[in-house]
Amino acid sequence: MSHKLFFVEHLPRLGTILDYGCADGKMAEALAGEEFAGRFSFGSMALFDIDQQMLDRIPEDFWIWKFREEQPALDMLAQSGAAPYPSAILFSSVLHETYTHQPGQMNDLWQRVAATGVEYIIIRDMFWQEGQKGACLGPTRSLTEAGLTQLYKEHLTTQWPSLSAVANHVQFLLKYPYVENWQRELQENYFALPDLRPVLAPLGYEPMHWSHHQVPFIQERIKTDTGIELPFNTHLTAIFKRKNLQS
The predicted pLDDT at position 245 comes to: 67
The pLDDT of 221-234, averaged and rounded, is 89
**pTM for the model:** 0.91
The pLDDT of 162-182, averaged and rounded, is 89
CATH of the domain at 111: 3.40.50.150
More confident residue, 27 or 109: 109
User: For residue 106, is it within any domain?
Assistant: yes
Strands (E), 83-195: 88-92, 120-126
User: For residue 192, is it within any domain?
Assistant: yes
Q: How many domains is the chain built from?
A: 1
Burial call 124-144: b when 16+ CB within 10 Å, e when fewer: bbbbbeeeeeeeebeeeeebe
The 3-state DSSP class for residue 66 equals: strand
User: For residue 198, is it within any domain?
Assistant: yes
The 3-state DSSP class for residue 241 equals: strand
Strands (E), the chain: 13-20, 41-48, 65-67, 88-92, 120-126, 205-213, 235-242
CA atoms within 13 A on the CB side of 238: 23
**Does the pLDDT of residue 138 top 70, yes or no?**
no
Query: CA–CA distance from 220 to each of 125, 175, 215 (Å)?
Result: 18, 15, 9
The predicted pLDDT at position 134 comes to: 62
User: For residue 1, is it within any domain?
Assistant: no
Phi, psi (rounded to 5 degrees) for 105: -105, 0
The pLDDT of 33-54, averaged and rounded, is 82
For 74-114, the pLDDT digits (tens) are 998 998 765 688 999 999 999 999 999 999 999 999 999 99
- Domain coverage including residue 17: 6-242
Among 55-64, 110-119, 136-145, the least confident range: 136-145
Check if the beta carbon of residue 86 is closer than 8 Å to that of residue 119. Answer: yes
| CA gap 185, 233 in Å, rounded | 20
User: For residue 188, is it within any domain?
Assistant: yes
Mean pLDDT highest for which of 1-10, 76-85, 124-133, 205-214?
205-214
Per-residue confidence at 119, pLDDT binned at 50, 70, 90? very high
The predicted pLDDT at position 247 comes to: 53
The predicted pLDDT at position 56 comes to: 78
Check if the beta carbon of residue 17 is closer than 8 Å to that of residue 88. Answer: yes
Residue type, 46: A
The predicted pLDDT at position 39 comes to: 80
The predicted pLDDT at position 141 comes to: 55
Calculate ∠ Cα 85-112-48, nearest 5°. Answer: 70
The predicted pLDDT at position 90 comes to: 96
**Does the pLDDT of residue 5 top 60, yes or no?**
yes
| CA gap 235, 233 in Å, rounded | 6
User: For residue 247, is it within any domain?
Assistant: no
Mean pLDDT, rounded, of the chain: 87
The predicted pLDDT at position 61 comes to: 59
